[in-house]
Chains A and B, each alone.
Chain A
Amino acid sequence: MIIFHLDQRSGVPTYLQLVQQVRQAVRLGILMPGDQLPTVKDVVGTLAINPNTVLKAYRELDHEGLVVARRGVGTFVADLQPSRPPDDLKALRTSLQRWVDRARAAGVGDEALADLFADTVRAERISRVA
């Protein structure tokens, strides 16, 4: 089961933080197809937030097809996304870790590191579109 957390200083709307956390958990294999998301009451009770915020997040995820709401039962991670085998992710993480180590050794700081990564992803996407 996913454990939600909130960063009130992030400036990201609360519902979007919940959406992002579910997306990330699915990407990382923390949430698997068929897994149940916490009930609205549970989320509301742990985070002390408005139930409409949770409903909005779950609706958005439903819209994206990432989860399926079953009336009166709960909200579950959908089946359809081709889930990446955990081994694959592990290998990717290891090679990324090596890259991070090398960047660190070259004296690259946190922010520059994140910029470099984001920039590379962006450049790759642009070249793919072109």
Chain B
Amino acid sequence: MITTPAISTDRLGKRYGSAWALRDCTLAVPAGSVTALVGPNGAGKTTLLQLVVGLGRATAGSVEVFGCDPQRDAGAVLPRVGFVAQEHPLYSGFTVAEMLKVGRKLNPGWDDAFALQRVQELSLPLGGKIGKLSGGQQAQVALTLALAKRPELLVLDEPVASLDPLARREFLSSLMEAVTETGVTIVLSSHILADLERVCDHLVILSRARTQLAGPIDEIVAEHRLLTGPRADVAEIARRHEVVTARHSERQTSLLVRSNGHVYDASWELHEVDLEEIVLAYLAQNRAEDPTLAMSA
């Protein structure tokens, strides 16, 4: 069965002045997935997410959300999309109740009963000023506003970056509860790989403004292997498999490869690798290849 992806981009690019913030970005986010967007700072994550939610126009290529252009067909797309921006901007002088009222006025599909129930379950004070709430509570208010819109796609830019570990866990718990209840498609960017491994089923690695890797996490983990063996030339193995990173000592060679079927060469010892190692390898690979990144990082 082929369903329209929640998001699909084709050679999407965004240029600010002479600098490309995002370039040649082609990817698809399946509907119903929880997709992680990872990459170093400045890789274009925020730019990509902003284009997805219709904040800004693409310089090159195209982006579609549920098959529609989020800028041209904003009226059709935006009611179906929730967005939690970085640092979850809210009006700090407003009370929680006033913030909900804003949500009610601005969103035709607003589910007030849901919003109130959620606020109650989380023990958020309706009369409390946003500015007086803890970081974790503010994040929960932002999530409530986004969810009460009853979106089919929820986009979150670094939602847990500013939260302490407990608030982070609580935030992700309630996000996953929402997925369970509504089947909402989630795209979130984060640097916290351990969290992503828990909550996400799809992964997109963005680096140097380009997509480096995209797909279901269990497939990604199954495809990658660490090969160790006596010092060897990588050319032989690179003919069949994609070598992500290679490290050599005087006597040993260690390769992280994206295998294309089985690795039959008996001179290599095969090891499984976890998601964190895979992501780090891709990020390191790109830093090594890009002198400007190496200097700024």
Contact = CB atoms under 8 A, between A and B. Distances in A.
A57 to B, nearest CB: 13
Interface stretch (A37-45, A63-71, A89-97, A122-130): A37-45
A44 B198 contact: no
Contacts of A44: 173, 176-177, 179-180
Which residue of B198, B200, B218 has the most chain A CB atoms within 10 A of its CB atom?
Answer: B198
Contacts of B274: 11
B142 interface: no
A23 to B, nearest CB: 21
Interface in B160-205: 169, 172-174, 176-177, 179-181, 194-195, 197-201
A50 B177 contact: no
Contact of B174 (A14, A40, A45, A51): A45
The bracket for how many chain B residues form the interface is 20 to 34
Contacts of B34: 50, 52
5 contacts: A6-B198, A14-B198, A45-B177, A49-B199, A50-B200
A121 interface: no
Interface of B: 34, 169, 172-174, 176-177, 179-181, 194-195, 197-201, 218, 272, 274
A1 interface: no
A45 B176 contact: yes
Contact of B176 (A6, A8, A14, A48): A48
Contacts of A6: 198
Contact of B179 (A11, A47, A50): A50
B180 A8 contact: no
The bracket for how many chain A residues form the interface is 10 to 19
Given A48-B199, A50-B198, A11 B176 contact: no
Contact of A8 (B172, B198, B272): B198
Interface string A1-25: 0000010100101100000000000
Contacts of A45: 173-174, 176-177
Contacts of B177: 41, 44-45
A51 B197 CA distance: 13
Closest 4 CB pairs of A and B: A48-B172, A51-B180, A44-B176, A48-B173
Given A8-B198, A11-B272, A11-B274, A51 B179 contact: yes
A13 B218 CA distance: 9
Contacts of A50: 34, 176, 179, 198-201
A49 B34 CA distance: 11
Contacts of A41: 177, 180-181
A49 B201 CA distance: 10
